[in-house]
């Protein structure tokens, strides 16, 4: 398994500002992902965080709005840029063990409120 | 596009009864089907998963069944306890990319177990 820690656990931000969320895994993993969970909703994949190269974004998500870094095999950041109230969500980091052939584990999430 | 449908959206049972949650998926290339439990204020926790080469898997009070022909899989919880109360998500992997870890989630089922 993998233990995933996210910081911050929650934040209240002013519209127009940016927030960077950190994700730390307790072991080296090949696959890391970022998901969004809007209030009372399911999880939607934002992007795959690729180590040493640009992230791969899903339809509806763009790099200018959600820049992602992955400097090594245990750490990633997601930035939510130029925030609006519609960005209020829980942002979740996920890591896959076993080089993509094992289970995926999640952090506790970052609860973001934009006012 | 790929889709996972989950039913019911809410489920209320008496302690000791069984609970069944059903999901269908659309991507015929999916070969990995995890189930997650999410308690209030926490990230999703993997509780059981099944791969396409088996039809059923059991872990104590929890079991999952898979019908690949019908693209249908189900979660069964027996002898439910109040601590089973949570939101449960089914998921399927995107078969041709991301290995087992790039997941599409169902909408979730809110399970309430009453003493």
User: Mind telling me how many Å the CA of A75 is from chain B's nearest CA?
Assistant: 17
Percent of chain B with pLDDT over 90: 83
| Summary mean pLDDT of chain B | 93
| pLDDT exceeds 90 at position B74 | yes
Structure tokens at A6: 């996210």
Cβ distance A44 to B106 less than 8 Å, yes or no, reads no
Structure tokens at A50: 């690729």
**Residue B53 confidence (pLDDT):** 85
Cβ distance A109 to B106 less than 8 Å, yes or no, reads no
User: Mind telling me how many Å the CA of A47 is from chain B's nearest CA?
Assistant: 9
More confident residue, A80 or B94: A80
The mean per-residue pLDDT over the stretch A76-85 comes to 98
Please, which pLDDT band fits residue B97 given cuts at 50, 70 and 90?
Answer: low
**Residue A97 confidence (pLDDT):** 82
CB B38 within 8 A of CB B45: yes
Across the interface, which of A31, A59, A107 has its CB nearest the CB of B43? Answer: A107
Across the interface, which of A59, A106, A111 has its CB nearest the CB of B44? Answer: A106
Q: Which residues contact A22 (CB under 8 A, 6 or more apart)?
A: A6, A7, A75, A76, A77
CB B88 within 8 A of CB B34: no
**Block residue for tokens 């439910």:** B80
Per-residue pLDDT of A11-70, as tens digits, reads 999 999 999 999 999 999 988 999 999 988 999 999 999 888 899 999 999 999 999 999
CB B33 within 8 A of CB B90: yes
CB A107 within 8 A of CB A39: no
Please, which pLDDT band fits residue A74 given cuts at 50, 70 and 90?
Answer: very high
Residue B104: Cβ within 10 Å count: 21
Interface mutation vs chain B, best among A32, A100, A101, A104, most B CBs within 10 Å: A104
**Residue A53 confidence (pLDDT):** 87
List chain A residues with CB under 8 Å of B106. Answer: 42
First to last CA, chain A: 37
**Residue A36 confidence (pLDDT):** 97
Neighbour-count burial of B28, counting CB atoms closer than 10 A to its CB (0-12 exposed, 13-18 middle, 19+ buried): exposed
Chain B residue with Cα closest to A96: B101
List chain B residues with CB under 8 Å of A4. Answer: 43
Neighbour-count burial of B18, counting CB atoms closer than 10 A to its CB (0-12 exposed, 13-18 middle, 19+ buried): exposed
More confident residue, B102 or A42: A42
| pLDDT exceeds 80 at position A75 | yes
| pLDDT exceeds 70 at position B98 | no
Strands of the sheet containing A4-7, edge to edge, are A4-7, A19-25, A75-80, A68-72
Cβ distance B103 to A42 less than 8 Å, yes or no, reads no
């Amino acid at each position: 398994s993998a233990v995933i820690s996210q910081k911050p656990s929650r934040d209240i931000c002013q519209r127009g500002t940016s927030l960077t969320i950190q994700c730390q895994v307790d072991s080296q993993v090949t696959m890391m992902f970022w998901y969004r969970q809007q209030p009372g909703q399911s999880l939607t994949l934002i992007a795959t965080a690729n180590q040493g190269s640009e992230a791969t974004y899903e339809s509806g998500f763009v790099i200018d709005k959600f820049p992602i870094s992955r400097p090594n095999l245990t750490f990633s950041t997601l930035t939510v840029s130029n925030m609006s109230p519609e960005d209020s969500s829980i942002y979740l980091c996920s890591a896959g063990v076993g080089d993509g052939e094992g289970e995926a584990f999640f952090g506790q999430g970052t609860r973001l409120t934009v006012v | 596009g790929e889709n996972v449908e989950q039913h019911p959206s809410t489920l209320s049972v008496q302690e000791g009864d069984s609970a069944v949650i059903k999901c269908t998926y659309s991507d015929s290339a999916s070969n990995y089907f995890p189930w997650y439990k999410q308690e209030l204020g926490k990230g999703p926790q993997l509780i059981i998963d099944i791969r396409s080469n088996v039809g059923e898997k059991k872990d104590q009070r929890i079991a999952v069944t898979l019908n690949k022909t019908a693209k249908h899989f189900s979660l069964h919880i027996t002898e439910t306890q109040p601590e089973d109360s949570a939101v449960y998500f089914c998921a399927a992997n995107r078969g041709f990319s991301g290995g087992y870890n790039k997941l599409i989630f169902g909408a979730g089922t809110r399970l309430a177990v009453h003493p």
